[in-house]
Amino acid sequence: MRWRSFVAVGDSFTEGMDDAYPDGSYRGWADLVATRLAAEAGPDFRYANLAIRGRLFPNVVAEQVPAALAMKPDLISFAAGGNDVLRRSFDPDVFVPRFDAVVGRLRSGGSDVVLFRFADVMARLPGQRLVAPRVTLLNRAVGEVAERHGAILVDLYADEAYLNPMLWSTDRLHLSAAGHRRVAAQVLSALGVGCEEEWLMVPPHPAPSPWLAARRADLRWAGRHLAPWIKRRLTGRSSGDFVTAKRPVLGPVDAG
């Protein structure tokens, strides 16, 4: 096993929302990957997860990247920008060069770096017409940067399985437990590491709801999830306020 240490960097996607352990804390794809790598590498394997929900790209770069580099891990996953594309202020001409520079920094430290093309979350959210072109630009840039710097690319956008709502939580923005398992399997596949076949399994697609029932579900979703998100935006708050990284330093992993 070439990787003896792994540091995960990013936002809620990497923190593990909404795949919960029994105690309510989040697991997610990165914990699953770390567990599998630990099983391969042995008891000396170490893992840190610096990701915090709600973090924008500049925050991830300022707060998490220096800490990750200081740990000098063999493997770093970097997934940031998903929150930025939801904002009107997103400027690809500014974002792309910064993204390229950050990946260059991560690679220059000698670490292997995993990057992601994001799944099409906007397929089930309002504002698709406005945000979808930004997601396309972001994903295109990620692919180009990965090729330029020799990073490992995990292309979730090309996987139509993520159009299945069963891979997403009730907030329609974060992955479900099944979604995180599938991401973990795809990361491990990109690393050339085997995993349990059931991690790739996709639950049956639910039958379409009658129009009126679907609209009622949309209204419930808007009240429970969209309205609080809008309120946070208007008040300058974040879902990650007062949240700290769940694994801020490299430590051992229970390989199960």
The predicted-structure confidence for 27-72, as pLDDT tens digits, reads as follows 999 999 999 999 999 999 999 999 999 999 999 999 999 999 999 9
Q: Buried b / exposed e across 111-126, counting CB within 10 Å, b at 16+? A: bbbbbbbbbbbbeebe
Say which residue, 207 or 238, is predicted with more confidence: 207
Q: Residue 256 and residue 246: Cα distance in Å, rounded?
A: 19
Q: How many CB atoms lie within 10 A of CB 110?
A: 10
In a shared domain, residues 58 and 182: yes
The predicted-structure confidence for 180-225, as pLDDT tens digits, reads as follows 999 999 999 999 999 988 999 998 888 887 877 777 877 776 677 6
In a shared domain, residues 78 and 195: yes
Task: Kindly state the helix (H) or strand (E) to which residue 9 belongs, with its residue range.
Answer: strand 5-10
Q: Position of tokens 């300058």?
A: 236
In a shared domain, residues 55 and 155: yes
Say which residue, 219 or 96, is predicted with more confidence: 96
In a shared domain, residues 102 and 219: no
CATH of the domain at 144: 3.40.50.1110
The answer to whether 74 touches 4, Cβ cutoff 8 Å, is yes
Mean pLDDT, range 78-90, rounded to an integer: 90
In a shared domain, residues 149 and 226: no
In a shared domain, residues 228 and 152: no
Is residue 173 scored above 90 in pLDDT? no
Chain mean pLDDT for the chain:
90
The domain in which residue 212 lies consists of: 207-238
**Is 199 inside a domain boundary?**
yes
**Is 256 inside a domain boundary?**
no
Q: Residue 113 and residue 27: Cα distance in Å, rounded?
A: 21
Q: Quick one: pLDDT band at residue 124, thresholds 50, 70, 90?
A: low
Portion of the chain with pLDDT greater than 90, in percent: 67
Say which residue, 234 or 82, is predicted with more confidence: 82
Task: Kindly state the helix (H) or strand (E) to which residue 249 belongs, with its residue range.
Answer: strand 247-251
Mean pLDDT, range 169-188, rounded to an integer: 94
**Is 248 inside a domain boundary?**
no
Q: Per the structure, how many domains does the chain have? A: 2
In a shared domain, residues 80 and 103: yes
